[in-house]
Amino acid sequence: MKNDYDNLNEGARSRTRAKRRKTNLILNTLIVVVILLIVFVSVNIFFSNDEEAADNKNATSEHEKDAASSGKKDNKDNKDNNGSEKADEDKNGEKKEQSDDGTADDSGAAESEDSEDLGDPVVTEGGSDANVKQTIENPGWQPVGTTQSGEHAPVFDQNSVDWQEMILAYSYATGIDKNNMTVWFNQNNGAPNTALGTVSAKGSDQTYRVAIEWVDGQGWKPVKVEELIQNDKR
């Protein structure tokens, strides 16, 4: 009886141990499965993050490339526009320069024609008195024009039109700008419709005595210019 009882107990313990081993095996298997799942999920998350970061990086790179390309294009467009504008400016500048040159050429031609009309001045040593260094006469001198009409009589009033036209004739004969001229003397020259003026450029010691005469309808015309040794009207 004891052996049978012992055999039953032994069998029960064997089944219990077998059941425990089976249970442990299942638990271990589940643990391994859980660990594998955790590893799998972690790997997926890691690679997903890497791929997302790579995608973001690629997207950023592409955006930067697009921005750079756009910037280059804008710069190129701006450069082209600036080049076109500069070309237009240069072209306009050339046109203006050509126009200016043309005007200058026309003016030069006009001056040349005037010089030809004036002819060559006749210069002689001395003059009407001992204070004259040289006398200049030019058959090409023309009347300077006038705004006056009707019968003329010289008016030696500095505020008169006639006086201003006399000054213009003195400027024409001597080459001194009327706005830079000092008039030392301006009076009748001993005959009707004549005048005699002593003038010099402001700040200059070179003085001229100029004889002019009136031409009806055309204004005052230079007749003779005497360069003085010294200013006798100072």
Are the CB atoms for 154 and 179 separated by under 8 Å?
no
- Nearest by Cα to 195 from 208, 178, 212: 212
What's the mean per-residue pLDDT of the chain?
A: 79
Which structural domain range is residue 19 located in? 1-118
- Picking from 118, 145, 174, the residue at the C-terminal end of a domain is 118
Q: Taking 60 as the threshold, does the pLDDT of residue 218 lie above it?
A: yes
Q: Where among 85, 118, 151 does a domain terminate?
A: 118
Within a domain: 214 = yes
- What's the pLDDT band for 108 if we cut at 50, 70, 90? very low
Condensed to tens digits (0 to 9), the pLDDT of residues 71-100 reads: 555 555 555 555 555 555 555 545 444 444
Which of the four pLDDT bands, split at 50, 70 and 90, describes residue 10? Answer: low
Look at residue 181 and tell me if it is in a domain.
Answer: yes
pLDDT score of 74? 54
Note whether 83 and 128 are same-domain residues.
no
| 144 and 51 fall within a common domain | no
pLDDT, tens only, 119-163: 789 999 998 899 999 999 999 999 999 999 999 999 999 999 999
The token pair that represents 223 in the structure block: 């007749």
Residue that has been written with the tokens 């040593």 in this structure: 125
Q: How many CA atoms within 13 Å lie on the side-chain side of 174?
A: 29
Domain boundary among 64, 93, 118: 118
Residues 61 and 138 in one domain: no
**Predicted TM-score (pTM) of this structure:** 0.52
User: Does any domain span residue 234?
Assistant: no
Residue 190: pLDDT over 90: yes
Whether residue 5 is found in the same domain as residue 53: yes
Q: What's the total number of domains in the chain?
A: 2
Distance in angstroms (rounded) separating the CA atoms of residues 129 and 138: 20
Report the pLDDT value the prediction gives residue 15, as an integer from 0 to 100. Answer: 74
One domain, residues 75 and 104: yes
Rounded Cα distance between 128 and 109, Å, is 36
